Amino acid sequence: MSEKVKESAVIVSQEEISLNIYSMWIETKAAKTAVPGQFVALYSNDKSRMLPRPISICEIDKKNNRLRLVYRVVGKGTEEFSTYQAGANIDILGPLGNGFPMEEAKGKKAIIVGGGIGVPPMLELAKQLDAQKKYIVCGYRDLLFLDNELKANGEFYPATENGSVGTKGTVIDAIKENKIDADVIYACGPMPMLKALKEYAQANNMQAWISLEEKMACGIGACLACVCKTTQKDEHTNVNNARICKEGPVFNAKEVEI
């Protein structure tokens, strides 16, 4: 199991890479054990905001003990983080959750799917995944981000709501339009997208591993604020629930009800 380390990390750099989308590199011990699909919890300096913000890990640089976090400004907490400059400190806890089972793609064709702010965690997966073929399909509202990095790690197919770039429509539309066929799907994004991918995988006899996005409180599985329905009983509660922060965020799509 990955070591959880609460510490004061150092911000190496930060920049706005798209409208309200920020990229922050931090130096942290959490990089030593982090794997694709995990996240870290960032703590605000404003003590009135007691709960940390979960941010997915976008890239891992183990050599320099650094993590890249790419996030969208959506509230007071992330707005505060966006003002931090290089050299500042930020309290973090991590790495948290489980990662994507990369061994499932060995010798197979894989579709890596990201939607919205679910795109960032798919970059490190695309870099590390040892698959026969990697198709990267990402859905955006309109403006693309991380597209150049993703293109360097597989065949990249964007989908936009207005059709300004790539396929007009959803990631499913992009998969169908480009006649992409594979054995396994890895995905992170909004729930409607994950639900559609689960159904698509079942209809096409494909494996699907999905990372669920959910608001969290403690981030370590103690408060039960981020549960999802499952097909199996959870050992912690003895009901058909799983904690997204603890048993997830990555699940076999067959084992969760969405």
At the top level of CATH, the class of 102-213 is alpha beta
Angle at 154 between CA 152 and CA 213, to 5 degrees: 100
CATH 2.60.120.1310 given to domain 5-96 = no
What fold characterizes domain 214-258? Dihydroorotate dehydrogenase B (pyrk subunit); domain 3 (2.10.240)
pLDDT band at 168 (very low <50, low <70, confident <90, very high): very high
Is 160 within 8 Å of 166 (Cβ atoms)? yes
Residue 6 has pLDDT above 70, yes or no: yes
Q: Chain-wide mean pLDDT for the chain? A: 88
Both tokens of 83, joined, read: 């003002």
Judged by DSSP in three states, 181 sits in coil
Report the candidate in 150, 127, 154, 132 with the shortest Cα–Cα distance to residue 140: 150
Residue 208 has pLDDT above 80, yes or no: yes
Lowest mean pLDDT among 109-113, 120-124, 190-194, 220-224: 220-224
CA dist., res. 148 & res. 69, Å (int)? 17
- Residue 69 CB burial class (10 angstroms; 0-12, 13-18, ≥19): buried
CA distance 207 to 226: 24
Give the closest residue to 56 by CA, choosing from 212, 182, 201.
212
Res 24 pLDDT > 60: yes
Q: Give residue limits of the domains in the chain.
A: 5-96, 102-213, 214-258
Give percent of the chain with pLDDT exceeding 90: 77
With a cut of 80, say whether residue 27 has pLDDT above it: yes
Q: Which of 46-55, 66-75, 231-240 has the lowest mean pLDDT?
A: 231-240
pTM of the model: 0.87
Tell me: the pLDDT tens digits for 78-131?
A: 999 999 999 999 999 999 999 999 999 999 999 999 999 999 999 999 999 999
Q: Look at the chain and count its residues.
A: 258
